[in-house]
């Protein structure tokens, strides 16, 4: 198994990494779930910087400072809302990971933590999302050697088990 990728159960706002990824909405101005938790933990300066970014398209990513977070950076990406799987959701989710990882390399980030993008309020099936996440991260790591560690931070044990299973399955291929 790839030792650069780990799955943990925890709070992404508490991760001691160079960057955390925010599963944001298109406005980048905060919301519920991971997005709201990151904005609350980072403090009001994050919202002020996000206002200057003028939103973010689904599948794209933008970066801000981490402010009061242990992480120096926050990479904001907007995952797709699940609409049955026939609206390009898989590719949009894959782009979230690719674009976030490309920003990480651009900013010389060596450690990064991702949440389970789109699996909460956006309704993306966890098993499907976990396979896309792990596959995209592994493909990226095979071509880019600057990232030392990628952590998939899951809020629940169930999600964590599913992401770990995807990591184990994809590592075998």
How many residues are listed for the chain in this entry? 173
In percent, the amount of the chain with pLDDT more than 70 equals 99
How far lies 100's CA from each of 76, 95, 104, 151, 153, in Å?
A: 8, 8, 6, 13, 15
Check residue 2 and give its pLDDT: 56
The single-letter DSSP state of residue 13 is G
Summarize the confidence of residues 38-60 as an average pLDDT.
98
Query: What's the pLDDT band for 1 if we cut at 50, 70, 90?
Result: very low
11, 18, 35, 158: the active-site residue: 35
Both tokens of residue 126? 């966890």
CA dist 57 and 76 (Å) reads: 10
Q: Locate the DSSP E strands across the chain.
A: 5-9, 19-24, 61-65, 73-78, 111-114, 149-154
Per residue in 14-37, pLDDT (tens digit) is 999 999 999 999 999 999 999 999
Query: What's the pLDDT band for 173 if we cut at 50, 70, 90?
Result: confident
Cβ neighbourhood burial of 172 (10 Å; 0-12, 13-18, 19+):
exposed
- What is the average pLDDT value for the chain, to the nearest integer? 96
Check residue 98 and give its pLDDT: 98
Per residue in 80-105, pLDDT (tens digit) is 999 999 999 999 999 999 999 999 99
Q: In what order do the strands lie in the sheet with 61-65?
A: 5-9, 149-154, 111-114, 19-24, 73-78, 61-65
Catalytic annotation present for 161: no
Check residue 128 and give its pLDDT: 98
Check residue 3 and give its pLDDT: 74
CA dist 19 and 29 (Å) reads: 18
Per residue in 111-132, pLDDT (tens digit) is 999 999 999 999 999 999 999 9
Per residue in 127-172, pLDDT (tens digit) is 999 999 999 999 999 999 899 999 999 999 999 999 999 999 988 7
Check residue 87 and give its pLDDT: 95
pTM of the predicted protein model: 0.96
């Amino acid at each position: 198994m790839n030792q650069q990728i780990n799955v943990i159960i925890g709070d992404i706002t508490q991760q001691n990494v160079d960057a955390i990824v925010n599963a944001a909405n298109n406005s980048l101005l905060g919301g519920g779930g991971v997005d709201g938790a990151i904005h609350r933990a980072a403090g009001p300066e994050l919202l002020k910087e996000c206002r200057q970014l003028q939103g973010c398209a689904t599948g794209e990513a933008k970066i801000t400072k981490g402010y009061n977070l242990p992480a120096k950076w926050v990479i904001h990406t907007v995952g797709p809302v699940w609409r049955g799987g026939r609206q390009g959701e898989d590719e949009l989710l894959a782009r979230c990971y690719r674009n976030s990882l490309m920003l990480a390399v651009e900013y010389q980030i060596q450690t990064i933590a991702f949440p389970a993008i789109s699996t909460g309020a956006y309704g993306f099936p966890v098993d499907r999302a976990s396979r896309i996440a792990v596959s995209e991260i592994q493909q990226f790591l095979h071509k880019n050697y600057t990232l030392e560690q990628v952590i998939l931070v899951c809020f629940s044990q169930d999600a964590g088990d599913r992401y770990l299973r995807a990591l184990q399955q994809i590592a075998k291929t």
